[in-house]
Chains A and B, each alone.
Chain A
Amino acid sequence: MSRIPATFERLARAGHKALIPFFSVGDPSLPLCVPTMRAMVTGGADIIELGIPFSDPMADGPTIQRSSERALKNGVTLHDVLATVAQFRQTDNVTPVVLMGYANPIERMGREHFAGQCAAAGVDGVLVVDYPPDEARDLGQLLGPQGVDSIFLLSPTSTDARVKEIASLATGYIYYVSLRGVTGASNIDPQDVARQIARIKAVARVPVGVGFGIRDGATARQLAETADAIVVGSRIVEEIEASPADEVPARVGALINRFRQAMDA
Chain B
Amino acid sequence: MKIYDMPDAQGHFGPYGGTFVSETLIAAIDELKAQYLHYRDDPQFQAEFAYELKHYVGRPSPIYHARRLSDSLGGAQIYLKREDLNHTGAHKINNTVGQAMLARRMGKQRIIAETGAGQHGVASATVAARYGMECVVYMGSEDVRRQAQNVYRMKLLGARVVPVESGSKTLKDALNEAMRDWVTNVQNTFYIIGTVAGPHPYPMMVRDFNSVVGRECLTQMPEMAGRQPDVVLACVGGGSNAMGIFHPYIPHESVRLMGVEAGGEGIASGHHAASLVAGSPGVLHGNRTYLLQDGNGQIIETHSISAGLDYPGVGPEHAWLKDSHRAEYVAINDDEALHAFHTLCRMEGIIPALESSHALAQAMKMAPTMDKDRILLVNLSGRGDKDMATVAERSGIKL
Contact = CB atoms under 8 A, between A and B. Distances in A.
Contacts of B187: 180
B184 interface: yes
Contacts of A158: 23, 26-27
Contacts of A102: 283
A144 interface: no
Given A56-B299, A181-B184, A135 B23 contact: no
A132 B27 CA distance: 12
Interface string A194-209: 0000000000000000
B103 to A, nearest CB: 18
B35 to A, nearest CB: 15
A239 interface: no
Contacts of A166: 23
Residue among A55, A129, A155, A177 with the most chain B CB within 10 A? A55
A103 interface: yes
Contacts of A83: none
A104 B23 contact: no
A218 to B, nearest CB: 24
Contacts of A152: 23
Interface residues of A, number: 44
Contact of A153 (B10, B24, B179, B300): B24
Nearest to A54: B298
Contact of B24 (A106, A131, A180): A180
Interface stretch (A12-20, A36-44, A59-67, A229-237): A59-67
Interface stretch (B129-137, B155-163, B244-252, B284-292): B284-292
A182 B185 CA distance: 11
Residue among B10, B185, B296 with the most chain A CB within 10 A? B296
Contacts of B45: none
A54 B185 CA distance: 24
Contact of A108 (B176, B186, B285, B296): B296
A222 interface: no
Contacts of A78: 296-297
A65 B179 CA distance: 14
B20 A155 contact: no
Contacts of A191: none
B282 A177 contact: no
Given A59-B183, A180-B184, A77 B296 contact: yes
Given A58-B179, A78-B297, A104-B297, A153 B23 contact: yes
A180 B25 CA distance: 9
B27 A108 contact: no
B: interface residue count bin? 35 or more
Contact of B167 (A69, A159, A180, A185): A69
Interface in A92-132: 102-109, 129-132
B298 A58 contact: no
Interface in B142-162: none
Residue among B22, B186, B286 with the most chain A CB within 10 A? B22
Nearest to A182: B180
Contacts of A53: 298
B22 A134 contact: no
Nearest to B12: A135
A132 B167 contact: no
Contact of B20 (A65, A79, A135, A185): A135
A104 B282 CA distance: 6
Given A56-B284, A104-B291, A180-B184, A162 B26 contact: yes
B295 interface: yes
B119 interface: no
A65 B183 CA distance: 16
Contacts of A77: 296
A61 B166 CA distance: 11
A107 B167 contact: no
Interface string B15-31: 00011111110111010
B166 A134 contact: no
Interface string B29-50: 0100000000000000000000
A157 B26 contact: yes
A127 B28 CA distance: 21
Contact of A132 (B20, B179, B291): B20
B293 interface: yes
A252 interface: no
A34 interface: no
Contacts of B358: none
Interface string B154-194: 00000000000011000011001001100111110000000
A108 B18 CA distance: 17
B21 A108 contact: no
Interface string A157-194: 11100100010000000000100111001000000000
Interface of B: 10, 18-24, 26-28, 30, 166-167, 172-173, 176, 179-180, 183-187, 281-286, 288, 291, 293, 295-300
Given A58-B285, A102-B283, 16 more contacts: A54-B297, A104-B291, A106-B297, A107-B283, A107-B288, A132-B21, A132-B22, A132-B26, A153-B23, A155-B22, A157-B26, A162-B23, A166-B23, A177-B24, A180-B183, A182-B183
Interface of A: 53-62, 65, 69, 72, 77-79, 102-109, 129-132, 134-135, 152-155, 157-159, 162, 166, 177, 180-182, 185
12 contacts: A54-B298, A56-B172, A65-B166, A72-B298, A103-B283, A104-B293, A106-B297, A107-B288, A132-B26, A152-B23, A153-B22, A185-B184
